[in-house]
Amino acid sequence: MTESSSTTLAPEKVEVQKGWGGQSLKRKEDKRLLQGEGVFVDDVKRHGMGYLHFVRSPYAHAHITRIDVSAAEAMEGVYGTLTGEEVAALTEPFFQISSVPGANIKDYALAVGKVRYVGEAVVAVVAETRELARDASELVEVDYEPLPALVDARQAQEPGAPVLHDDAGGNLMWSGLYSWGDVDSAFAEADRVIEIDELHFHRFNSTPLECDGALVEFNRGVEQWTIHTNNQFPGFAAIMMGPAMQVGLDKLRFVTQDIGGGFGNKITSHPQLVVCCLLARKLNRAIQWTEWRTDFHMSMSHGNERWFQETKVAVSSDGTLLGFKTKALDDAGAWLRYEPLGGVIWAQVTPGMYRWRHIELEFTQVATNKAPVSPNRGYSRMQHLWFTERIIDIVAHELGLDPVEVRKKNYIRAEDMPYETPNGCVYDSGDYARMLDLALELIGYDGLGARREQAKANGKLLGVGIGSTLDSGTNNFGQSRMINPELQFSGNNEVATVKLDIFGEIVVTLGTTPQGQGHETTAAQVVADILKCSPDDVHVRAGHDSYWNSHAGFSGTYASQFAVTGLGAVKGATEMLRDEIFKLAGAVFGGVPAEALELADGGIRIKESPDAFLPFMACGAIINANNAGLPEDLDVTLNCRYVYRPPFQVPDVEKKFGNLTLTYAAQIHVAVVEIDPETGYYEIVDYAAVDDCGKRINPQIVEGQVMGATAQAIGAAMHEIYEYDEDGNLLTPNFYDYHVPHALDMPPLATGAIESPSPFTPLGTKGMGEGGGAGIHAISAAIQDATGKTVTNSHNPYQRVWELLQ
Amino acid sequence: MDVSVTVNGTTYARDVEPRKLLIHFLRDDLDLTGSHVGCDTGNCGACSVLVDGVLVKSCMLLAVQANGASIETVEGLSENGELTPLQQSFNEHHALQCGYCTPGMLMSATALLRENPSPSEDEIKKALQGNICRCTGYWNIVEAVKAVGK
């Protein structure tokens, strides 16, 4: 990690740290993963399990007129099938988050009567082997009556457009007007009004290398399902599945160990999990489902595609930004699996990093005949922040100002923190101008003039672009009420339990479902600091199991929150345990008050006479196995459960005003590109990423998140897209056509960090990991800088750059 | 069909469906679940193993084609539970996050280092270009391999 900031805590400087927090401790998780001993969902097996394969729609939009599974079922080795008709008889439609008209759609685990995108699951077939299940699927006969397909969201509301959901009366799913400040006055006052006809943020996602999957068992005696799965938000899956299956949530046990990447894309597998549950019960055997890569690309969690239309920006001639108006049109795909929450999530970062106070955004979400969208790293904020960053560069370009200066002039200042945005969000801390200086220094900004000249001499175009993001973390789920005032969600929570077992083992259980974020390591660091022991002495259970009672309604790993909610819960539970150890030792030592005791060396002792020492092993043994004679009123179990609940209020639904997230980690990325004007081919020749996520428990893990997010952004900006043809066929259904970056695609990277501790969180931390969208913004800006042409699309493959130059 | 293979020094004889892929044979029949599946098309490299010393993507080979071969997988890298210098270097450089691509990365890097014990950064990147990682951005993986090569 590059060092150039006074508050940056480098690994080599860890001696200044008093505890384990702040150290780049090597990860506890790694040993098993490096030896091939992780347990991912497809590694879980059961005797006699049946492999599930989905028969999928070849049409983007069609009536299903007939399904015949008899030939498939007659095949030797086939255990059975499930059709949409059966699903409709056995379950209720999934609960809809949306208010009307989206609320009226009827979404089941399999297509019922109609298919709405290519790849939609129509029938499930279960057989003795993976191969047989695939073969048998070929024997399922489905007759379709094709309908015209809707693939462009901009045509969704035109008269005569194909309608996906008759129940909704059209393709409009949700719309809402957001208006804060005094937009009309801002425009009246403005020296200049910059107009931007249309900006387009493209459809892609993070393509975790492990696809979705589950191993589902049904225990007939207690009518309970055990769902081994890599779903990353079991709390959400449970509240979708329970009501649909008409069972209590105690009947749905979610178990996870290792997850092969998530990035938000593994939140909405509840329809497939319902199918597995129904088949486990119907066929009385364990059901194994592992999604194929092509299935994932065709059907899972595409990121929100969004247009910003008729944008107007009010500015002073010196580049001071006053406000903007725009119309955001969001393409939800065929179903609302997590949507229309994207219609409010963006509002967490309404003004981006800037001080403008007058903002109006009309949000419209429509259905199209494409795969359903769901959260993807940077969910909904990435689209909005790309838009605000595009505004900055387009304004600077139009006014002939330096984009660096326009940013610095308009940044929310360090001394304004905590800063209340026009819509009531509170940015907790940060110093954006300092981050920008650091990022520019890292790419050698001062020497760019000479490099531009050099590139020009070589027939190339050099450009530099800045991309900023706010990684808003720890959601206030009350924001969902702006989408639908009837919803009864608000706040947030996470759980941890910490116990001292018989032989003094410190055992931690988390409610989270990590996918590589190193929770076992960072949790151990926090515990070790409180109990004054080594992280090696702290055993953090791998994975999630809802049987452990260590979860709450919002448990999971998503939306940049572990460092706040997860570690907040760990801290709370460990402090409870610490206090109990003090109580117990006080009693054992014959009434010694807590203030006369201290923790040290894996035990507790009397400060004044350190020989009076009770190791944790003795504490655990006394309470668990040798407790006769303890005082009756000694309220100690050494098994502590803590629910961390962030301090939130329910937002004002009428005014769409309130604090929507607790923390605001920030990222500033700078990209330098060199373009060959003859072909449009370009390379990123320098790249810097500066991150501020408050106090870092493990700087190396934080830097790893920064790097990974950067790589995804580079992939999205240059290559990755879920593109459909006019008939609704996905043109990029595998890793041949959907190019994710390889080792050779990676530019030189310099990273930097500053730490602006959050005043609102238990450890001064902020959630982070999603800030990589900054790379998309930076590359758009760099191309604009190099070519002098306005970049209006977030996806800039070489061909588009070439077209820009024509 | 009868297939006999030696994997990490142990010989296995099994009756295998002719169309079964080597990766599914390893994972489903032999229960060696360290090698992973990340795509259907031979792009991602999560299933990389060494067959008679040659790096292959085990989803691109039928199990029957491996008949008589000696196969090395991630499970065979370390001895007595001790991490090899390459595995340790991955840990030290934070070259893995979710760990799903890691077994394939390790096998590709192992193949490279056997052939070229001191690879340059460019040689490392070329050797790893058949392995996709979605978590790390590759920078730390390249560093980890480079550190072992020195």
Q: How distant is the Cα of B93 from the closest Cα of chain A, in angstroms?
A: 9
For residue A129, what are the contacts with CB-CB under 8 A and spacing of at least 6?
A51, A77, B17, B28
d(CA A299, CA A205): 12
In the structure, what pLDDT confidence band is assigned to residue A2 with cuts at 50, 70 and 90? very low
- E strand or H helix at A172: strand A172-180
d(CA A142, CA A146): 12
Chain B hits for A742, CB-CB cut-off 8 Å, are 128-132, 138
pLDDT tens track for A37-66: 999 999 999 999 999 999 999 999 999 999
Retrieve residue A692's tokens.
């501020």
Average pLDDT over all residues of chain A: 96
State residue A1's pLDDT score. 38
Q: Do A708 and B20 touch (CB under 8 A)?
A: no
Instruction: Inform me whether the C-beta atom of residue B147 falls under 8 Å from chain A C-beta atoms.
Output: no
Nearest CA in chain B to A714: B137
Amino acid at A559: A
Nearest CA in chain A to B37: A210
pLDDT tens track for A69-92: 999 999 999 999 999 999 999 999
Q: How distant is the Cα of B142 from the closest Cα of chain A, in angstroms?
A: 8
Answer yes or no: is pLDDT of A12 > 60.
no
Asked if A714 and A679 count as a contact pair (C-beta separation under 8 A), the reply is no
Cα-flanking dihedrals φ and ψ of residue A604, to 5°?
A: -130, 145
**What per-residue string of b and e applies to A140-155 under the rule 16 or more CB within 10 Å gives b?**
bebebeebebbbbbee
Cα-flanking dihedrals φ and ψ of residue A174, to 5°?
A: -160, 145
Nearest CA in chain B to A49: B28
Q: Do B99 and A704 touch (CB under 8 A)?
A: no
Retrieve residue A463's tokens.
């450009």
For A:185-224, CB contacts with B below 8 A are 206-211
Q: Report, in this order, helix, strand and coil percent for chain B, each rounded to 5.
A: 35, 20, 45
DSSP assigned state of A481: H
pLDDT tens track for A502-524: 999 999 999 999 999 999 999 99
In the structure, what pLDDT confidence band is assigned to residue A199 with cuts at 50, 70 and 90? very high
**Which of B81, B100, B125 comes nearest A40 by C-beta?**
B100
- What is the fold, at CATH topology level, of the domain defined by A493-644? Aldehyde Oxidoreductase; domain 4 (3.30.365)
**Which of A263, A292, A743 comes nearest B125 by C-beta?**
A743
Domain A41-147+211-259+267-299 superfamily per CATH: Aldehyde oxidase/xanthine dehydrogenase, a/b hammerhead (3.90.1170.50)
pLDDT tens track for A597-618: 999 999 999 999 999 999 999 9
Domains of chain B in sequence order: 2-76 (3.10.20.30), 85-149 (1.10.150.120)
Q: How distant is the Cα of A254 from the closest Cα of chain B, in angstroms?
A: 19
Interface with chain A: mutation pick from B14, B26, B97, B146, highest number of A CBs within 10 Å: B97
State residue B80's pLDDT score. 87
State residue A772's pLDDT score. 73
d(CA A630, CA A591): 12
Chain A hits for B94, CB-CB cut-off 8 Å, are 24, 26-27, 700-701, 703-704
Q: How distant is the Cα of A458 from the closest Cα of chain B, in angstroms?
A: 24
Nearest CA in chain A to B21: A131
In the structure, what pLDDT confidence band is assigned to residue A18 with cuts at 50, 70 and 90? confident
In the structure, what pLDDT confidence band is assigned to residue A416 with cuts at 50, 70 and 90? very high
In the structure, what pLDDT confidence band is assigned to residue A771 with cuts at 50, 70 and 90? confident
Give the position of tokens 């006014």: A399
Share above pLDDT 70 across residues of chain A, in percent, rounded to a whole number:
98
d(CA A436, CA A667): 9
- Based on its alpha-carbon atoms, the radius of gyration of chain B, rounded to whole angstroms, reads 15
For B:17-46, CB contacts with A below 8 A are 17, 19-20, 24, 27-28, 31-41, 43-44, 46
State residue A734's pLDDT score. 97
pLDDT tens track for A359-414: 999 999 999 999 999 999 999 999 999 999 999 999 999 999 999 999 999 999 99
Q: Do B98 and A516 touch (CB under 8 A)?
A: yes
Q: What is the pLDDT along chain B (150 residues), one digit of tens a residue?
A: 999 999 999 999 999 999 999 999 999 999 999 999 999 899 999 999 999 999 999 999 999 999 999 999 999 999 888 999 999 999 999 999 999 999 999 999 999 999 999 999 999 999 999 999 999 999 999 999 999 987
In the structure, what pLDDT confidence band is assigned to residue A548 with cuts at 50, 70 and 90? confident
Nearest CA in chain A to B127: A743
Q: How distant is the Cα of B26 from the closest Cα of chain A, in angstroms?
A: 11
Asked if A300 and A371 count as a contact pair (C-beta separation under 8 A), the reply is yes
Average pLDDT for residues A19-35, to the nearest whole number? 97
In the sheet with A603-606, reading across from the earlier edge strand, the strands are A597-600, A603-606, A613-615
Q: Omega of the bond prior to A418 within 30 degrees of 0, cis?
A: yes
Answer yes or no: is pLDDT of A15 > 50.
no
Asked if A569 and A644 count as a contact pair (C-beta separation under 8 A), the reply is yes
pLDDT tens track for A626-669: 999 999 999 999 999 999 999 999 999 999 999 999 999 999 99
Q: Do B138 and A42 touch (CB under 8 A)?
A: no
For B:78-107, CB contacts with A below 8 A are 78, 81, 83, 87, 90-92, 94, 96-103, 106
Average pLDDT for residues A300-317, to the nearest whole number? 98
Retrieve residue A374's tokens.
């769901």
State residue A11's pLDDT score. 35
d(CA A560, CA A473): 5
Across the A/B interface, how many CB contacts are shorter than 8 Å?
183
Average pLDDT for residues A177-185, to the nearest whole number? 97
State residue A16's pLDDT score. 42
Interface with chain B: mutation pick from A31, A34, A707, A770, highest number of B CBs within 10 Å: A34
Give the position of tokens 């602006």: A756
Instruction: Inform me whether the C-beta atom of residue A129 falls under 8 Å from chain B C-beta atoms.
Output: yes
User: For the whole model, what pTM was predicted?
Assistant: 0.96
Amino acid at A706: V
Q: Do B87 and A259 touch (CB under 8 A)?
A: no
State residue B40's pLDDT score. 87
State residue B79's pLDDT score. 86
Q: Do A516 and B96 touch (CB under 8 A)?
A: yes
Share above pLDDT 90 across residues of chain A, in percent, rounded to a whole number:
97
pLDDT tens track for A675-725: 999 999 999 999 999 999 999 999 999 999 999 999 999 999 999 999 999
Does ipTM exceed 0.95? yes
pLDDT tens track for A436-454: 999 999 999 999 999 999 9
Q: Where are the domains of chain A?
A: 5-23+301-479+650-805, 41-147+211-259+267-299, 493-644
State residue B137's pLDDT score. 98
In the structure, what pLDDT confidence band is assigned to residue A32 with cuts at 50, 70 and 90? very high
State residue A515's pLDDT score. 96
Pairing of strands A506-510, A538-540: parallel
In the structure, what pLDDT confidence band is assigned to residue A7 with cuts at 50, 70 and 90? very low
State residue A504's pLDDT score. 96
Instruction: Inform me whether the C-beta atom of residue A740 falls under 8 Å from chain B C-beta atoms.
Output: yes
Same fold, A5-23+301-479+650-805 and A493-644: yes
Q: Assign domain A5-23+301-479+650-805 to its CATH architecture.
A: 2-Layer Sandwich (3.30)
